[in-house]
Amino acid sequence: MSASRAVPAFLFTLVLALTACGPADEGDGTGATDPTDAPTDGAATDGGGNGDGETTRLTIATGGTGGVYFPLGGGLAQELSENLDGVEATAQETSASVDNMLLIGTGDADVAFVLGDTAADAVEGRGTDFEGNAIDACTLGILYSNYTQLVTTPDSGIESVADLAGRRVSLGAPGSGTEVIAIRILEAAGIDPDADIDRSQLLVDETVDGLRDGTIDAGFWSGGLPTGALVDLASAGELALVPTAEYTSDLADEYGPFYLEREIPADTYDGVDEAVPTVVVPNVLVVNTSMDEELQRQITQVLFEQKDDLVDVHPAASELDAATAGEVEFMDVCPGAQAYYDEAG
């Protein structure tokens, strides 16, 4: 498991200022503002915190500093700290989904942002990372969707997943949800990710650098729209997107209903003037099943009642919807979260 770093909510301004130029994993780096700049009404939720004068410390596992998970996790940490009496939350930089589920399993993180397919693998104890090591976790709900973005350059000659055979391809950072979905798409296309491509494991900014200097031909990225590093590549006329949606049904049939088909809208990136159908995976907020049910409910309540503040941190939070967030087919919804949804409904 890779090293991780905890960042208190009140230090988030400094951290983002120093690291904003380094897009990483699970989400995009555009539209993100300093989460400490988000307005808050300061209103405490009913029954917030432990109420006994002691401090409840929560660690939120996020992702790399350039993705959605990191700023949004920082924003959530601040909202929990400000709106729940006796709660002090911090955001922790990680390698994202796989790393985050392992941290939930060991108790080194209390709350985690995770891609749905990785979360499902973890609770079922399947796949390379979790075989024989099922994680006791439940979800507080669906957050927003990650779009699989298979990127290349206009002159690469790559127009389909099948065209990746024999080429130099980045599958995303080790321990990331991008890596998981990239491997599964390649296998669905009949491509062995170890034998049939020249495989790299790069962060999104490294993928962009590789495309620019010609050391790779294509790269996978799973994140929100648009992604900052890809915006920069597109603005120079060096980006093309490859559709992946034809493999959605194969992935859903083999692994579960968390694989969906949507389109990356036309003009999301400069020079990409047609919609690109692709595989989409929902992001979920996850906790260990041992978490107190009332705390589960309170965290869920803050997540949705402070939505406007979180949107100010990153626009991906605009997808938060309490009416549908509890409709999760691939893992259990935490009882405390379900209690909130029942009340809100």
Helix/strand/coil percent split, the chain, to 5: 35, 20, 40
Residue 31 has pLDDT above 70, yes or no: no
Compute CA distances 282 → 120, 159, 188, 205, 222, whole Å. 11, 26, 20, 23, 11
Query: Which CATH superfamily hosts domain 147-281?
Result: Periplasmic binding protein-like II (3.40.190.10)
β-bridge mates for residue 114, sequence order: 284
pTM comes to: 0.79
Compute CA distances 186 → 107, 161, 223, 304, whole Å. 33, 7, 18, 36
Side chain identity at residue 44, one-letter code:
A
Residue with the larger pLDDT of the pair 16 and 167: 167
pLDDT on residue 252: 94
Domain ranges of the chain: 5-145+282-344, 147-281
pLDDT grade, residue 95 (50/70/90)? confident
pLDDT grade, residue 28 (50/70/90)? very low
β-bridge mates for residue 218, sequence order: 152, 169
pLDDT on residue 139: 98
Residue pair 197/165 in contact (Cβ under 8 Å)? The answer is: yes
pLDDT grade, residue 250 (50/70/90)? very high
pLDDT grade, residue 138 (50/70/90)? very high
Question: What average pLDDT score do residues 260-268 get?
Answer: 95
Per cent of the chain over pLDDT 90 is 72
Residue 196 neighbours by CB under 8 Å, 6+ apart: 165, 166, 186
Query: Which CATH superfamily hosts domain 5-145+282-344?
Result: Periplasmic binding protein-like II (3.40.190.10)
pLDDT on residue 65: 72
Spatial CA neighbour of 162 closest among 243, 272, 251, 260: 243
Query: Do the domains 147-281 and 5-145+282-344 match in fold?
Result: yes
pLDDT on residue 5: 56
Residue with the larger pLDDT of the pair 1 and 215: 215
